[in-house]
A and B are shown apart, each in its own frame.
Chain A
Amino acid sequence: MSMLQLAPTLDTANGRSVGLQRVVVALTVAVLFAGGGFLLHTEEQGQVIALLAAFVALFALGEKLPAGRRVAALCVAHPGTVNLTAAVMVLAIAAALREEHYTLLMMATVALFATAAAGLTLQMAFAGVPNFAGAAFFAVGSYVAAVLGTSGIPHLLVLVIAGLAAAVLGLLLLLPVLRTRGHYAALVTIAFGLLLRSFLEVNDVLGGPQGMKVPSFSLFGLSFSRVTEIGPYDVSFYLPYALAGCFLFALAFAVVRRLEFSFAGVALDAVRSDEVSASVFGLSIARWKATAFLMGNALIGVAGALYGMMNAFVNPNSANFGDSLIMLSILVLGGLGNLWGAVVASVVILVIPEKLQAIQEFRLVIFALLVIAILRFRPSGLMPRVTRDFSSFAKEG
């Protein structure tokens, strides 16, 4: 049987070659992150273009060459090594670029949008519930931070409350979202986004069109905006935000991954792929869609709260439809259900236009055409979701 021949040779690998595999994986991830870090840092147009070309080439190699595919498969097979290397690299990049305000601001922005994308992943990629109001729930988080940030409540708790608030607001939509599918459910969220934005604009309690100031995030009495040095090093006050953003993303990543690799993840996939068979096998469609919708909005809300604190202000425009579309596009471009894809897509959509001055004016057209091309020719995204494989878990257990 050909299927048997295809069975992964990893199973038979002995300890030494597993070690070697890990090294290959770690190096690959390190190179990719180093490239990403350099992209964040450089302003030189020639370097930016060369870097982008290198990324495209690497990506193509990883897909077309057997050796490239093998490396990609190794990365899938050793998620622990990938994650560890990624964490180390993030710290290294942050340390290296510690004084660069704008670079760190972008790093934090990417991390927070990727966190929001993790929330959308729960909703759209797992449960199949469309959410065209990502930016609205993100803004809810920022507004909660604005209102509660000065109240004396510890800011960590404010983040939690922001998540809860976004989830509770999502609760209002739950009934229509659960009763509908596809276009109809999408419209419910679109309408909600517009509603929220108009509401924020006309309601003076929350600052009206001018919006509100948001206090800086402070952790155990240490306000991030006052951080100017760590030990002997001068640092940008965006450094703690970049680190906190990445930490938040790591948390969201862990939640999404664990959920995916659990029976709840199977249930979500079953509900999304086929409501008929899911319900015949006893799964409550409403329970799983609601779970994903509320959890997803909570994640988006938390990310939004930190984002608001970083930017120091929030206004109704934060909840605009265009930003919701950007979040969705990150999801689709990266590959529905693949969080590393979401990180890559966040960089593509948020960072590259900032870096390439030539396209600044055309950024929206290019971004729109890019998403159209992806949807048309590669609908599973740059990095398609990898089929869940429980075999390694089962062996360890």
Chain B
Amino acid sequence: MSALLACNGLTMRFGGLTALDGVDIAVGKGETVGLVGPNGSGKTTFFNVLTGLYKPSSGAVRFAEADLFARSPQEIGRAGVARTFQRSRLMLDQTVFDNIAVGALGRLDLGLMTALVRRSRFRRQLSALVEQATALTRRFNPQIAANLFRPAGSFTMIDRRRIEICRALIGAPRLLLLDEPSAGMTHEETRQLMDDLLAFREEMPDLAIVLVEHEMDVIRRISDRCIVLNFGKKIFEGPFDALIADREVQTAYLGGGE
């Protein structure tokens, strides 16, 4: 079976800096890939290139048999790639529901006629979405579900990350990119988040996930396969146990940095 996502020789330069250097990464349906690497190794850049925010310098990207190289973020998003951001990007003064709805707008009727005239059609869609958002947030924290119509800014950082994940999931993506979702969480909270995520995955066996994470424990527990970036190059790919033993990875982390 061919991979859901296949990147070949993906390269991204910022002026003189090569943030991604001929990276080959493939992700299969239903696979969870852990993406690790020291600070500044290009993990976030990989997500940004993949989601069309940065135009890659060269390479190839295929997703679900479509060519997504250097496409617009909109096209890529509609093709089924959703993500969270390393630095949370929510509309803090809008309700949780509105934030999550943004993730579903791609499949909702945004027409002006529906907004202005055919209100009953809008209400039907709204009710259905409220139900979905309630069910989804309840999996991650019932408190969020109970307060779906409170401003996102009134929640803790940790809940905001959960909300961001729900926003990414509500659009039923085929590939989910998580950029350090556990940043700022305690071990226990991180474990809880990953359990919730895995439980959700049970019902969406085809959903592929790429997870950027510094906690090796988390990577070990949930990833089927690991990829290590260093200075924009892929220096390792394989199961977690091999990663731990890998020489180059060790030097990247220990002698790594700048």
Q: Using a CB–CB distance below 8 Å, which chain A residues touch chain B?
A: 1, 3-4, 7, 255, 258-259, 262-267, 269-270, 273-274, 276-284, 291, 387-391, 393-394, 396-397
**Apart from A282-B77, A391-B149: 13 A-B pairs, beta carbons within 8 A:** A3-B147, A3-B150, A4-B146, A269-B94, A274-B89, A276-B53, A277-B85, A280-B82, A388-B95, A388-B98, A389-B149, A393-B126, A394-B127
Pair B74/A279 contact, Cβ less than 8 Å:
yes
Pair A255/B95 contact, Cβ less than 8 Å:
no
Which B residues are in CB contact (< 8 Å) with A284? 74
Please name the residue on chain B nearest to A260 by beta carbon.
B115
Pair A263/B125 contact, Cβ less than 8 Å:
yes
With A7-B147, A390-B149 known as contacts, the answer to whether A258 contacts B74 (CB < 8 A) is no
Per a CB cutoff under 8 Å, which of A263, A279, A397 touches B77?
A279
Most chain A beta-carbon neighbours within 10 Å: one of B89, B125, B167 = B89
**For chain B residues 135-194, which have a beta carbon within 8 Å of chain A?**
143, 146-151, 154, 167, 171
Q: How many A-B residue pairs have CB under 8 A?
A: 128
Q: Using a CB–CB distance below 8 Å, which chain B residues touch chain A?
A: 51-53, 72-74, 76-78, 82-83, 85, 89, 91, 93-95, 97-98, 101-103, 105-106, 108-112, 114-116, 119-120, 122-127, 130, 143, 146-151, 154, 167, 171
Which B residues are in CB contact (< 8 Å) with A259? 112, 115-116
Per a CB cutoff under 8 Å, which of A263, A280, A397 touches B53?
A280
Which B residues are in CB contact (< 8 Å) with A280? 51-53, 73, 76-77, 82-83
Which B residues are in CB contact (< 8 Å) with A7? 147
Expressed in whole angstroms, the minimum distance between the Cβ of B187 and any Cβ of chain A is 23
Closest 6 CB pairs of A and B: A397-B123, A262-B115, A282-B77, A279-B73, A282-B106, A394-B130
Pair A267/B110 contact, Cβ less than 8 Å:
yes
Per a CB cutoff under 8 Å, which of A3, A265, A276, A387 touches B115?
A265
Most chain B beta-carbon neighbours within 10 Å: one of A276, A279, A280, A391 = A280
Pair B126/A258 contact, Cβ less than 8 Å:
no
A134 to B83, CA, bound (A): 39
Please name the residue on chain A nearest to B170 by beta carbon.
A281
Most chain B beta-carbon neighbours within 10 Å: one of A1, A3, A263 = A263
